[in-house]
């Protein structure tokens, strides 16, 4: 008998018992896949299944090829494919996978990057519940499986496309982590990481927020490592930590720990899928305009906004993540430079060696990027002094705080590549002053967390800046959220001093961080400001402001 005939016989035997379930047929399918596809291993791991992963992970010589998701015989695959029914959400989540098969054991549907390529039906269940093979079933299934095994990894050539595909894969990792928490013991691998982050960085971090941070760390750590991998060197998960820039020691150390051999099997397959995607990304095309200041065409902006809009649009709204037009950033930075010279007795402006600068909501570091450019202009005729200036008088006085992992990683890449393009070469253990921290949390006492002590190093450094350094310039664009989700006890106490006078609410339409919408309800003013800032062509924006911004852009 052939492997196909053996498979049909096993399915027929299972159905004859009358109590077969979806799980009953998996051994037969595993045998069929491995017999039909030379050198292939079809891994069916119960721990992965519990956490929401596809039932079979298909590899050859440990290289990931694709996945197979099974449903019970004669399940409604059409309904699932439309995103409906009990399995609709699962199909939507898996649709981002680059190469996978959906089957009810009798019908096989092959998908590549969300597009259905082939369908093969091998049999029908008659009125008596018996399996009747179709005459062309074996041939069609063989064609489908051959195409599946030979499918090359998708080549991605634009920043927007890569951001969208990475967002979908990162969302899968996030959901897998959330589910893994439910099945892991309290002292398990993920629980230990959560405890370390809570103690040192973000005290009110819950499991869902941690899963989000963890997933973004994996995705953007891999992306950053891919950016810094030399063109002729092989890119892999194992080598990723070595390829991360030393300018970001926190991400480098974090990634070397979490992406290693101890990574739970429940998520490692999805991380390997991102590795395969990045392996086949045209990084030259994706990065050719990286950091060159082309407004919304800048891939940095595409990665931040496109990724977050696809990955979790609700988070974008809750965290107030919206794009700040570069003409506005340029105007603010140049205005600060001028004010320092004319009002604060700092003739060098932003280039003054004793002026400490902080962007407390740095995002992808667009404001700090323009600060560096503004300072660099002063060295146009003395570029030989630039290296010494950056080493002694720049890196130690520009700082940024960021709460979300994706923009945090991008900010490091953006400023690191900017300085490299301006001719500066980092040496030794120099780092950029961008820190992963909650700006609205009180500067904590020095942490002595022993588990992953370098997390404490990041927290301690950020706390020292908050607590000890004489910051003179605070610039940036605070999150566009009239009612912030970031409202810890410390910042809430501080903001109360500004919300009420004699126990009566202020006459302000909006107070950032916590407004009084529940008492006033009128937000037309801040909504208009938001719209004007996000889009200078907004029909609701005053003509004069629109003209000024367009003038500035020109």
Domain end among 108, 127, 150: 150
Cβ(63)–Cβ(57) under 8 Å?
A: no
Could you tell me if residue 279 is inside a domain? Answer: yes
Domain end among 95, 115, 150: 150
Quick one: tokens of 503? 């126990």
Half-sphere exposure of 47 (CA within 13 A, CB side): 11
- Which band of pLDDT confidence, cut at 50, 70 and 90, is reported for residue 306? confident
* pLDDT at position 412 over 50: yes
Mean pLDDT calculated for residue range 364-375: 93
Residue pLDDT, tens place only, 129-153: 889 999 999 999 999 999 999 988 7
pLDDT, position 227: 85
Same domain, 71 and 110: yes
CATH number at residue 111: 3.90.1570
* pLDDT at position 535 over 50: no
> In the chain, what percentage of residues exceed pLDDT 90?
28
Same domain, 145 and 96: yes
The more confidently predicted of residues 62 and 49 is: 62
- CA dihedral sign of residues 59, 60, 63, 65: negative
Same domain, 405 and 296: yes
Could you tell me if residue 483 is inside a domain? Answer: no
* pLDDT at position 345 over 90: yes
pTM of the model as a whole = 0.72
Same domain, 168 and 256: yes
Quick one: tokens of 405? 């992992």
Same domain, 40 and 127: yes
Same domain, 333 and 438: yes
pLDDT, position 78: 92
- Which band of pLDDT confidence, cut at 50, 70 and 90, is reported for residue 313? confident
Domain end among 102, 133, 150: 150
Most confident of 387-396, 414-423, 433-442, 534-543: 387-396
pLDDT, position 105: 95
Same domain, 248 and 178: yes
pLDDT, position 513: 45
Q: How far apart are CA 126 and CA 407, in angstroms?
A: 56
CA angle 207–210–215, rounded 5-degree value: 125
Could you tell me if residue 431 is inside a domain? Answer: yes
**CB neighbourhood size of 537 (10 A):** 9
Of all helices (H) and strands (E), which one includes residue 372?
helix 366-376
- Which band of pLDDT confidence, cut at 50, 70 and 90, is reported for residue 318? low
Most confident of 14-23, 257-266, 471-480: 14-23
Same domain, 276 and 367: yes
* pLDDT at position 253 over 80: yes
Length of the chain: 554
Could you tell me if residue 220 is inside a domain? Answer: yes
Same domain, 164 and 243: yes
Residue pLDDT, tens place only, 454-513: 777 888 888 899 889 999 999 987 655 444 555 556 556 666 665 666 666 655 554 444
pLDDT, position 532: 37
Same domain, 115 and 230: no
The more confidently predicted of residues 534 and 64 is: 64
Residue span of the structural domain in which 7 resides? 3-150
From 519, 520, 521, 526, select the one nearest 540 (Cα to Cα). 526
> 434 pairs with which residues across the strands?
400
Query: What would the 3-class secondary structure string for 212-233 be?
Result: HHHHHHHHHHHHHHHHCCCCCC
How many domains does the structure of the chain reveal? 3
> 124 pairs with which residues across the strands?
132
Q: How far apart are CA 167 and CA 447, in angstroms?
A: 33
pLDDT, position 407: 85
- CA dihedral sign of residues 153, 214, 57, 131: negative
The more confidently predicted of residues 264 and 119 is: 119
Mean pLDDT of the chain: 80
Q: How far apart are CA 505 and CA 364, in angstroms?
A: 35
């Amino acid at each position: 008998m052939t492997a196909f005939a053996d498979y049909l016989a096993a399915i027929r035997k299972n159905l004859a018992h009358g109590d077969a379930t979806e799980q009953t047929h998996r051994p037969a399918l595993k045998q069929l896949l491995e017999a039909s596809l030379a050198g292939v291993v079809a891994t069916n791991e119960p721990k992965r299944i519990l956490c929401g992963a596809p039932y079979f992970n298909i590899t050859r010589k440990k290289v990931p090829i694709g996945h197979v998701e099974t449903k019970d015989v004669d399940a409604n695959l059409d309904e699932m494919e439309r995103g409906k029914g009990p399995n609709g959400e699962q199909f939507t989540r898996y649709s981002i996978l680059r190469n996978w098969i959906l089957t009810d054991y009798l019908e096989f549907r092959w998908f590549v990057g969300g597009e259905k390529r082939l369908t093969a039906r091998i049999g029908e269940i008659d009125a008596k519940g018996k399996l009747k093979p179709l005459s062309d079933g074996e041939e069609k299934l063989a064609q489908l499986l051959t195409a599946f095994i030979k499918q090359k990894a998708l080549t991605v050539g634009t920043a927007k496309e890569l951001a969208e595909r990475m967002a979908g894969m990162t969302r899968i990792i996030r959901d897998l982590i959330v589910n893994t928490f439910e099945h892991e013991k309290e002292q398990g691998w993920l629980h230990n990481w959560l405890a370390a982050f809570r103690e040192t960085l973000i005290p009110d971090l819950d499991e869902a927020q941690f899963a989000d941070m963890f997933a973004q760390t994996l995705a953007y750590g891999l992306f950053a490592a891919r950016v810094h991998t030399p063109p002729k060197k092989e890119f892999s998960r194992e080598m990723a930590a070595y390829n991360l820039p030393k300018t970001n020691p926190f991400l480098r150390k974090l990634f070397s720990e979490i992406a290693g051999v101890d990574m739970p099997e429940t998520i490692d397959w999805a991380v390997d899928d991102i590795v395969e995607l990045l392996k086949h990304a045209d990084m030259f095309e994706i990065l050719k305009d990286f950091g060159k200041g082309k407004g919304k065409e800048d891939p940095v902006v595409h990665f931040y906004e496109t990724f977050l809009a696809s990955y979790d649009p609700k988070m974008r709204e809750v965290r107030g993540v919206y794009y700040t037009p570069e003409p506005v950033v340029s105007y603010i930075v140049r205005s600060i430079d001028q004010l320092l010279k004319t009002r604060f007795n700092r003739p060098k402006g932003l280039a003054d060696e004793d002026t400490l600068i902080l962007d407390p909501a740095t995002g992808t570091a667009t404001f700090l990027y323009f600060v560096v450019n503004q300072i660099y202009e002063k060295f146009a005729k003395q570029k030989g002094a630039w290296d010494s200036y950056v080493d002694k008088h720049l890196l130690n006085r520009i700082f940024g705080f960021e709460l979300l992992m994706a923009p945090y990683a991008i900010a490091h890449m953006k400023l690191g590549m900017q300085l490299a393009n301006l001719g500066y070469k980092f040496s030794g253990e120099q780092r950029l002053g961008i820190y992963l921290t909650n700006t609205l949390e009180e500067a904590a006492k020095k942490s002595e967390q022993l588990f992953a002590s370098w997390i404490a190093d990041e927290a301690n450094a950020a706390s020292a800046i908050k607590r000890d350094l004489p910051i003179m310039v605070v610039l940036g664009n605070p999150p566009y959220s009239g009612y912030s989700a970031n409202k810890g006890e410390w910042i809430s106490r501080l903001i109360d001093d500004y919300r009420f006078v004699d126990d009566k609410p202020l006459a302000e339409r909006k107070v950032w961080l916590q407004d009084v919408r529940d008492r006033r309800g009128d937000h037309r003013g801040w909504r208009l400001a938001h719209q004007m800032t996000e889009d200078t062509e907004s029909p609701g924006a005053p003509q004069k402001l629109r003209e000024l911004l367009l003038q500035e852009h020109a």
